[in-house]
Chain A
Amino acid sequence: MSLSGKDKSVVASFWDKVAPKAPEIGAEALGRMLTAYPQTKTYFSHWGDLSPDSAQVKKHGATIMGAVGDAVSTIDDLVGGLSKLSELHASQLRVDPANFRILAHNIILTMAMFFPEDFTPEVHVSFEKFLQNVAWALSEKYR
């Protein structure tokens, strides 16, 4: 489900709106994922506190959304732009790619909560396609 020109411009303009809140969105999404999908906690057993309020969760959520923001700016070549991160996830982190979808869902849900008027179904479909392509690019180096 590749990104059309329309998808790319919808994503770019929606990102302009949400970028100032990106770290908060990331923190919220990650915290939610760890709480509502407890199987994802298995990847973070080295952290002491996995609650949504934990400093580590907040910081890492911000890091993730920073990478999503970078992906927005390399939307025409996600595989190239995410190459290093893919390498990291494939060889070191070894996160089952099924979890990318779970995190994407939580990012989308958080966006709907923070921007209920702007996150229309049309924006939702383009942004979800974008995150799906990000996940695909992220799993490039897996095998």
Chain B
Amino acid sequence: MVVWTDFERATIQDIFSKIDYGVVGQAAISRCLIVYPWTQRYFGSFGNLYNAAAITSNPKVAAHGKVVMEGLEKAVKNLENIKATFAELSTLHSEKLQVDPDNFKLLGDCLTIVVAAQLGKNFTPEVHAAFQKFLAVVVSSLRRQYY
């Protein structure tokens, strides 16, 4: 069972209240597709992902970024039970989307980098640690239904 300190809880909620889901989601997904190009395998239907410029301006990538952020918001609103909140999403990623779960970490890293660049000095090591813990729980919950 995950135990959140008051600081961690407040920090995570604060981060999500400050960031623009459209901007951050788009930046995180496109960074992931550019820096880890093998992740493009899951987005065959997105059209032109040929180079960084194409990825950054691709509207489907942007839309999907927002979808991902809204999914993460569900976890933020249910910090006490992320496992149950993401059970269906986990099954979806495992059985329908068939995403290698190691990719969750790659996207998580890109998201952390984008959030850090946005928040600047406010993304202190302690805030970073809380965010990292949150992502670790999210990734673990998304992995749960894989077999």
Q: Measuring CB to CB, which residues of chain A are less than 8 angstroms from any residue of chain B?
A: 31-32, 35-38, 52, 105, 108-109, 112-113, 116, 119-122, 124-125, 128
List the count of A-B residue pairs having beta carbons below 8 Å apart. Answer: 50
Chain B nearest Cβ from A75, distance in angstroms: 19
Identify which of A32, A116, A120 gathers the most chain B CB atoms within 10 Å of its CB.
A32
In terms of DSSP, what is the predominant structure of the interface of chain A? helix
Chain A nearest Cβ from B25, distance in angstroms: 15
Contact A32 B128, beta carbon cutoff 8 Å = yes
Nearest 4 Cβ contacts at the A-B interface:
A35-B125, A121-B34, A36-B129, A112-B117
Judge whether B91 is part of the interface by a CB distance below 8 angstroms: no
Beta-carbon nearest neighbor of B120 in chain A: A113
A35-B128 contact in complex given A113-B116, A121-B35, A125-B35, C-beta closer than 8 Å: yes
Q: CA A88 – CA B86 in complex, angstroms?
A: 44
Judge whether B66 is part of the interface by a CB distance below 8 angstroms: no
A124-B31 contact in complex given A109-B112, A112-B116, C-beta closer than 8 Å: yes
Q: CA A38 – CA B129 in complex, angstroms?
A: 9
- Identify 17 residue pairs between A and B in the complex whose beta-carbon atoms are under 8 Å apart, listed by A's number: A31-B125, A32-B128, A35-B126, A36-B125, A36-B131, A36-B132, A37-B132, A109-B112, A109-B113, A112-B117, A113-B117, A113-B120, A119-B117, A121-B34, A121-B35, A122-B52, A124-B113
Judge whether B56 is part of the interface by a CB distance below 8 angstroms: yes
Q: CA A120 – CA B56 in complex, angstroms?
A: 11
Q: CA A52 – CA B123 in complex, angstroms?
A: 13
Chain A nearest Cβ from B110, distance in angstroms: 9
Beta-carbon nearest neighbor of A34 in chain B: B125
Q: Measuring CB to CB, which residues of chain B are less than 8 angstroms from any residue of chain A?
A: 30-31, 34-35, 52, 55-56, 109, 112-114, 116-117, 120-121, 123, 125-126, 128-129, 131-132
A113-B123 contact in complex given A36-B132, A37-B132, A122-B34, C-beta closer than 8 Å: yes
B residues near A120, Cβ cutoff 8 Å: 52
A residues near B55, Cβ cutoff 8 Å: 121
Q: CA A125 – CA B120 in complex, angstroms?
A: 21
Contact B128 A36, beta carbon cutoff 8 Å = yes
Identify which of A31, A119, A122 gathers the most chain B CB atoms within 10 Å of its CB.
A122
Contact A108 B113, beta carbon cutoff 8 Å = yes
Cross-chain contact of A32 among B30, B34, B56, B125 (Cβ < 8 A)? B125
Chain B nearest Cβ from A78, distance in angstroms: 20
